[in-house]
């Protein structure tokens, strides 16, 4: 996530001089992208996902209003901040732009200092919004997604799987004898072990759409869209093996002299009549059975 580093600004204007003046103005502080018409603006926005778009209103073929509507209609670009920069300078024009969802409106001819100040203010708000989203979605200790994030993604992926008939795999991982680990090595060591486990889980995921979230204290849930049971089970087994291979010493474990995990997994096969809590319950039941059967194993 782009919380630090240079922010990207896309300037979309059919007037060559305007484009150049704005580019020169912004270049010392930001990465500047240029588009000379609406179509190019949409293409560059989708490809580069800029933090902010300075968007001319009057352009031939596709005007700025249409560009903004198309941006909002596409999930990927829907939240990109847009400042209209327009020769239409009446208060009514400004009101129209803001009602459409533009973050700000600058009338031409523009004052360079004011443009820079307004751009800086919008980019500051973009950073703050990203930071809040990060805090709302990420678990502070492990840096995995948190349960709130998991619930959102799970709902979306479950619906998608029902719609397109593709499999959806879910697994629950739980550290074995972790209470004894804390009792034996202390809570701070437990936290470090938990972070190491989280890193191993993250590195073990194969696809960008896979999600690992901290579901409870020492429980991690894995969501693997479009993944068959056999394939998902392989991923989870490899993750469990990688965790054991970390060789985190655990003398007090009832299982092995090192930290191990147990896992239960289940796969929704698109056509099934189950609810999303059924899939979760199936994985949870198998986790319970994995514990009962002696821990340090994966059941599907």
Annotated active-site positions, please?
A: 218
CB of residue 255 to ligand GH3, shortest distance in Å: 8
Ramachandran area for residue 95 (φ above 0: left; ψ -120 to 50: alpha; else beta): alpha
Contact partner at residue 58 from Mg ion, ligand GH3, none, CB < 5 to 8 Å by partner kind: Mg ion
CB of residue 287 to ligand GH3, shortest distance in Å: 9
Which run of H or E residues covers position 35? strand 31-35
Establish if 264 lies at the interface with ligand GH3 (CB under 6 A).
no
Pairing of strands 104-107, 81-86: parallel
CB of residue 9 to ligand GH3, shortest distance in Å: 41
Closest C-alpha to 69, from 59, 60, 92, 80: 80
Closest C-alpha to 222, from 244, 246, 197: 197
Contact partner at residue 141 from Mg ion, ligand GH3, none, CB < 5 to 8 Å by partner kind: ligand GH3
Taking the least distance from each CB to ligand GH3, the nearer of 134 and 187 is 187
Contact partner at residue 291 from Mg ion, ligand GH3, none, CB < 5 to 8 Å by partner kind: ligand GH3
Q: Of the candidates 212, 218, 236, 239, which one interacts with ligand GH3 according to CB under 6 A?
A: 218
Q: Of the candidates 84, 178, 215, 300, which one interacts with ligand GH3 according to CB under 6 A?
A: 178
* CB 126, CB 5: distance < 8 Å: no
Contact partner at residue 56 from ligand GH3, Mg ion, none, CB < 5 to 8 Å by partner kind: Mg ion
Establish if 176 lies at the interface with ligand GH3 (CB under 6 A).
yes
Cα separation, 187 vs 179, in Å, equals: 9
State the binding string over 123-162 for ligand GH3 (x if CB under 6 A, else -).
------------------x---------------------
Contact partner at residue 179 from ligand GH3, Mg ion, none, CB < 5 to 8 Å by partner kind: ligand GH3
* CB 23, CB 11: distance < 8 Å: yes
**229 φ, ψ (degrees, to nearest 5):** -55, -50
Binding to ligand GH3 in span 188-217, by CB under 6 A: 190-191, 194, 217
Cα separation, 53 vs 71, in Å, equals: 11
Cα separation, 293 vs 255, in Å, equals: 11
Closest C-alpha to 272, from 161, 115, 135: 161
Taking the least distance from each CB to Mg ion, the nearer of 56 and 157 is 56
| Interacting residues toward ligand GH3 by CB under 6 A | 141, 174-179, 182, 187, 190-191, 194, 217-218, 291, 295
């Amino acid at each position: 996530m782009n919380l630090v580093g240079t922010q990207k600004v896309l300037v979309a204007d059919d007037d060559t001089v305007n484009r150049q003046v704005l580019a020169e103005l912004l270049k010392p502080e930001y990465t500047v992208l240029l588009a000379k018409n609406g179509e190019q603006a949409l293409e560059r926005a989708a490809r580069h996902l800029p933090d902010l778009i300075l968007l001319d209103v009057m352009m031939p073929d596709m005007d700025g209003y249409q560009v903004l509507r198309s941006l909002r209609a596409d999930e990927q670009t829907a939240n990109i901040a847009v400042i209209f920069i327009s020769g239409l300078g009446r208060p009514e024009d400004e009101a129209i732009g803001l009602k459409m969802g533009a973050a700000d409106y600058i009338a031409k001819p523009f004052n360079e200092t004011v443009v820079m100040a307004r751009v800086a203010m919008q980019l500051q708000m973009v950073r703050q919004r990203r930071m809040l989203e990060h805090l709302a979605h990420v678990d502070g200790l492990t840096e995995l997604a948190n349960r709130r994030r998991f619930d959102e993604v799970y709902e979306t992926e479950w619906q998608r799987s029902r719609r397109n008939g593709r499999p959806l795999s879910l697994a629950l991982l739980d550290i074995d004898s972790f209470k004894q680990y804390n009792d034996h090595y202390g809570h701070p060591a437990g936290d470090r072990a938990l972070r190491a486990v989280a890193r191993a889980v993250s590195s073990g995921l194969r696809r960008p759409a896979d999600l690992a979230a901290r579901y409870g204290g020492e429980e991690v849930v894995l969501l693997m869209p479009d993944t068959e049971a056999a394939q998902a089970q392989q991923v989870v087994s490899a993750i469990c093996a990688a965790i054991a291979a970390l060789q985190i010493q655990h003398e007090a474990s009832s299982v092995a002299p090192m930290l191990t995990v147990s896992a239960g997994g289940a796969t929704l096969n698109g056509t099934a009549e189950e609810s999303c809590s059924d899939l979760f319950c199936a994985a949870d039941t198998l986790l319970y059975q994995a514990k009962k059967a002696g821990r340090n194993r994966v059941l599907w």
